[in-house]
Amino acid sequence: MGCHLCEYYCAFAGTDGSDMARALKGIKINPRIKIEEKDGISFAVSCRHCREPLCVKGCITGALTVADGVITIDRDRCVSCYTCVLSCPYGAVSPSDDGAVQKCELCVKTAEGTPACVRGCPNNAIVFEERECAE
């Protein structure tokens, strides 16, 4: 419904604060999920966790890996070559504010496992479910 709250919950999940107001006050957020809007339709774009991910294939240092179907990034290995940014067909990988790239990692490292965008969506528009991917 275009409230963009998922973006803010995503940004908050990336911090270690317990209070959103303190964590995000005065900060221009750079979330890993982004809302695309046109003609009254809004859509949340985040990593699709592809079965054959081009970003992982293209990663020159092995910073991006797939584990349990989730594509995660090892920030220490990333050299910010942005090959993944260019190769992702969904535009789901982006440069972060402090070197390395960032992408949705389904909150496996943050927000107690359930993606923060899913928990925060007031209309259950974003859901988290396992899907058998079509070949």
Partner 1 sequence: MAMNYLYPEYEAARNYDRCITCRACERQCANGAHEYVEEADKMVCDDSKCVNCHRCVALCPTRALKIVKSGNTYKENTNWSGKIINELYRQAESGGVLLSGMGNPENFPVYFDKILINASQVTNPSIDPLREPMETKVSLGAKPRDIERDENGRIINNLPPQLSLSMPVMFSAMSYGSISYNAHESLARAAESLGILYNTGEGGLHEDFYKYGKNTVVQVASGRFGVHPEYLNSGMAIEIKIGQGAKPGIGGHLPGAKIVGDISRTRMIPEGSDAISPAPHHDIYSIEDLRQLVFSLKEATNYEKPVIVKIAAVHNVAVIASGIARSGADIIAIDGFRGGTGAAPTRIRDNVGIPIELALASTDKRLRDEGIRDNVSIVVGGSIRSSADIVKAVALGADCVYIATGALLALGCHLCRSCHSGLCNWGIATQVPELVKRLNPDMGYKRLVNLMTAWRHEIKEMMGGMGINSIESLKGNRLMLRGVGLNEKELAILGIRHAGE
Site residues (vs partner 1, CB under 8 A): 1-5, 7-9, 12, 19-21, 24-27, 40, 120, 122-125
In the complex with partner 1, which residue's Cβ is closer, 67 or 124?
124
Name the minimum Å distance from CB 14 to partner 1.
Answer: 14
In the complex with partner 1, which residue's Cβ is closer, 19 or 74?
19
Name the minimum Å distance from CB 39 to partner 1.
Answer: 10
In the complex with partner 1, which residue's Cβ is closer, 17 or 91?
17
In the complex with partner 1, which residue's Cβ is closer, 2 or 113?
2
- For 43, 55, 106, the CA distances from 80, given in Å and listed in that order, are 27, 13, 21
- The whole-angstrom separation of Cα 2 and Cα 43 is 8
Name the minimum Å distance from CB 98 to partner 1.
Answer: 20
Amino acid at 118: V
Name the minimum Å distance from CB 96 to partner 1.
Answer: 19
Write the DSSP assignment of 73-131 as a string of letters.
E-TTT-----HHHHH-TT---EE-BTBSEE---TTSSSGGGS-HHHHH-TTS-S-----
Could you give the count of Cα atoms lying within 13 Å of 23 in the half-sphere of its Cβ?
14
